[in-house]
Amino acid sequence: MSTIRVMSHNKWNCDKNRPAWEEMGLDCSAAHREHGFIRVYQETQPDIIGCQEITPNMNDLMMRYLHNAGMHYALLWGKFTPIVYRPDKFELVDSDFILYPSECPGFEGCFNDCDSKSCALAVFRVKETGKLFIFVTTHLWWKKSNPAVSPQHYQAGSDEARVYQISMLIARADEYQKKYNCPVIVVGDLNTRYNTPALNYAFSQGFVHAHNIAVEYADETSGHHVCGPNGFQPYNDDKFIDAIDHILVRNAPDGFVRRFDRYSPEYYLPLSDHSPVFADIEL
């Protein structure tokens, strides 16, 4: 058996410094923040990272900074949702990509701003054991379906759009599981809490949450705080059920997930509003 660490990381789509940050004497540019992300990777040592909200410039900076830090990773293109992995540990067997449509059947409006909502899929072989697994990273639509929750971020059909998008992901994962007969791991910013339509749809299709089957440790925080154009704030005290960054697995054997955790050091506060979430997988 081999233990691998998979991570989901929303890195906040922000290339340049913002006026509010400049006024505070701070720098939220990608060139500055990426040094902090590299520190995270040095301290957590992920084997595979499923990214979200990462621009072409951020991709370039990440790979250059990783190289400068002596960390050997390869990049699998996925637009705003690329996969970064250790080629010394994994052989890339197959790959795929879906750019989610901007439309959601039955509803008006755009459900993919900046074409940033997508998923990247990779089939990996663990070099140590020869075992296969499918890894998918995704970013789903972000607005609210309930105007009472957040009137300024309300858009009718948002829950349905997330279900529509994740159903496309799962249909593609079905194809690859049928071909390769191995477990699948889905990570990402699903922009939805536990017990909401998109996650419930995934559960109905045989997925389980890594938090719920971790045999050694399961973090109970949400891993979210304010960090945006106007500045940043301390971590909130929301619980696991409020989290929107998730790790789901399907067709996993007993003991597949050893640890489910989030990484939220104080220095991370000005880097992104999403704490990295990771799981240790035994395969």
Number of domains in the chain: 1
Q: Give the pLDDT score at 151.
A: 86
Report in angstroms the alpha-carbon separations of 50 from 90, 208, 230, 281.
15, 18, 27, 15
Coil vs helix vs strand at 94:
strand
State pLDDT tens for residues 33-58: 999 999 999 999 999 999 999 999 99
Find the domain containing 267 and state its range.
Answer: 3-282
Q: Give the pLDDT score at 149.
A: 82
Coil vs helix vs strand at 259:
strand
Report in angstroms the alpha-carbon separations of 228 from 20, 25, 85.
10, 15, 28
How far apart are the C-alpha atoms of 228 and 23, rounded to whole Å? 14
Residue ranges in the chain whose pLDDT is less than 50: none
- The CATH number of whichever domain residue 111 belongs to comes to 3.60.10.10
State pLDDT tens for residues 214-232: 999 999 999 999 999 999 9
Q: How far is CA 47 from the centre of its chain?
A: 14
Give 253's contacts (C-beta < 8 A, 6+ positions apart).
Answer: 183
Give 269's contacts (C-beta < 8 A, 6+ positions apart).
Answer: 225, 227, 232, 233, 234, 235
How far apart are the C-alpha atoms of 213 and 6, rounded to whole Å? 15
